Amino acid sequence: MDKFIIEGPTPLKGTIPISGSKNAALPLMAAAILGDSPTTITNVPKLRDIYTFNNVIRVTGTHVNFDEEAGELSIDPANLAHLEAPYELVRKMRASFYMLGALLGKFGRAKVSLPGGCAWGPRPVDLHLNGMREMGADIKLEEGYVIANAPKEMEGGTFTLDPSSVGATINLVLASVLRAKEFTIKNAAKEPDVVLLCNTLVEMGADIEGIGTDTLTIRAVDQLEGITVRNAADRIETGTFMIAAAMHPESDVTLTGADVDDLGHFPEVFEKTGADMTIKNDTIHIEAPDQINATNIETQIYPGFPTDLQAQWATMMTQASGESSVTDTIYYDRFSYVPEVTRLGADMDVDENTVNIAGKTPLKGASVMSTDLRASVSLVLAGMIAEGKTDVLRIYHLDRGYEDLEEKLTAVGANIRRAGQEE
């Protein structure tokens, strides 16, 4: 099991290219199954979750070819015949559960394992299953699997997501575009990943109304055709590198290839830190402030502050002048990074779904361990600002969601190397 060895602190200077989004690519991969001809997705990152989902799709008999250097993924469902997503693959990643909607929508039958993924917190699939029941599917649970069946044409109906959920919105859209006479999703997620999926399906031939709003109405079409579609840039990676640049004194970083419009309200909140930010087309230039302003945030559904950036933000606030708080209104228990950053010297205290931070505190290197993807990267950011050597253990989480992280950060001045955990 690999770890990162980080020597800090070092200012960051240079250019970082933004990779394609894992969270946007995975729904597009599931949607490709619905087509009657091959689909090609470009700007796909080389990440563990992408490889895992490729294998989930291959189990069905679908032909999948990933040109890593070109970032192109081709999916041909012509020989798709095995309507199952097995536990040994689905347990590795929650997004594999999108196979339920895709297989049910295309064939009216599916057997999909209940999902796995990061270790923090419950993210139940009840919304997915109840929504499919509402549209007319028969859903049963047997020995850890969801067994789903649907008639050729389901009546549809209306289902309200409470709370709003990206995953459930995606799964219900996948299940309904070929099979529900008319199905309306209320309080639907409006995240860029959902918008891109819906626009892609429309280009394939789907009938979806209300894209970009919280009410989606889907009317079944007879067939969908494969297309070529560009995957979005990773907005969470973009925000992570913006935070990394701001929290390291004298840093001067340019991010290229960003989808700036997908960042929602994050840039305006980011400016409150005092960092100098210039945005031009797909380029974001960040200069670190002399002093970071303590800035409170609350996570919200899109376009509000993303829950996937709260750990990084809280870590930055350890270097701000004064007290701040970070409240997660999406997931109440997403604070596994706090005791680890505290090991480095941070003054952080969790109270229910809020972490209170007293800054500025000097950080000193130590060994820390991550439990999920975003916690992992927050520890990397902390290690980069800490004095001396920091070992970040269990970095396989990072390989799920950040493409070439150590290479990108090393190229702009960070001192990071990958090593075996026994070193």
For residues 194 and 173, give the distance between their C-alpha atoms in angstroms, rounded to a whole number.
9
Residue closest to 113 by CA, chosen among 141, 149, 81: 141
Residues that constitute the known binding site for phosphoenolpyruvate: 22-23
Residues making up the binding site: 22-23, 94, 123-127, 308, 330
DSSP string, 172-199: HHHHHTTTEEEEEEET----HHHHHHHH
CB atoms within 10 A of CB 327: 18
What phi, psi does 220 have (nearest 5°)?
A: -65, 145
Give CA–CA dist 134/119, Å, rounded: 30
Q: Which residues are annotated as a binding site for UDP-N-acetyl-alpha-D-glucosamine?
A: 94, 123-127, 308, 330
Closest CA to 220 of 165, 152, 169, 160: 152
Give the pair of three-digit tokens for residue 353. 């779904």
Cα–Cα distance, 99 to 82 (Å, whole number) = 12
308/237 Cα distance (integer angstroms): 10
Q: Rg (Cα) of the chain, in Å, rounded?
A: 22
Task: Residue 255: name the closest of 268, 266, 239, 267 by CA.
Answer: 239
* Residue with the two structure tokens 């039958």: 109
Q: Which residue has the tokens 């396989």?
A: 396
State CA 196 to chain mean position distance: 14
What are the residue numbers of the active site? 118
Cα–Cα distances in Å, from 173 out to 47, 71, 189, 211? 25, 26, 11, 11
- Can you name the residues that pair with 182 across neighbouring β-strands? 156
Among 279, 350, 344, 254, smallest CA distance to 310 is for 350
